[in-house]
Amino acid sequence: MNRALFVMAALLVALAGCGGGTTATPTPVDPATLGQQTFTSYCAPCHGANGEGFINALNAPALNADGESYMLSDAAILAAIIDGGSASGDTPLGGAMAPLGDALSAEQEAAVLQYVHTLWNDDQRAAHETAGGHEGQ
């Protein structure tokens, strides 16, 4: 079997493992913890431990309630995480954010996206949802 076929087969086996229903899949870390850990390791160096922003020369904006990241859709935030601040593509960003798509697993990306939501206040979370922030997720 060639390599591509092998990868496909391995994927199918992995997918078949999901949604199996009855057998309990071991969950190493719950998503909330994973989100926080991912944020601390991958986002805090630029955005600050609490998402306060503007901690170094890159001037990464605040991701907490002081910032405006709640106005972005989930798709835009996810695109920023995966593709970084590329001028092209789906991200509205400039160029200084590192693309982390290769460094993070899909689970980490989803978890850290949800973690960013926890940095906002209730009004901002509500505004984010009203604006369709959860579309496509």
Site for ligand HEC in 86-115 (CB under 6 A): 93-98, 100, 112
Determine the residue type at 74. Answer: D
For ligand HEC, the binding residue among 34, 35, 52, 60 (CB under 6 A) is: 60
Contact 127, 71 (CB under 8 A): yes
For ligand HEC, the binding residue among 47, 64, 74, 82 (CB under 6 A) is: 47
For ligand HEC, the binding residue among 34, 46, 110, 111 (CB under 6 A) is: 46
The candidate with the shortest Cα–Cα distance to 98, out of 33, 45, 40, 31, is 45
Q: Is 78 in the site for ligand HEC (CB under 6 A)?
A: no
Contact 135, 75 (CB under 8 A): yes
Give the burial class of 45: count Cβ atoms within 10 A of its Cβ; 0-12 exposed, 13-18 middle, 19 or more buried.
Answer: middle
Q: Which residue is nearest to ligand HEC (CB)?
A: 85
Stretch in the footprint of ligand HEC (CB under 6 A) among 4-12, 27-35, 40-48, 121-129 = 40-48
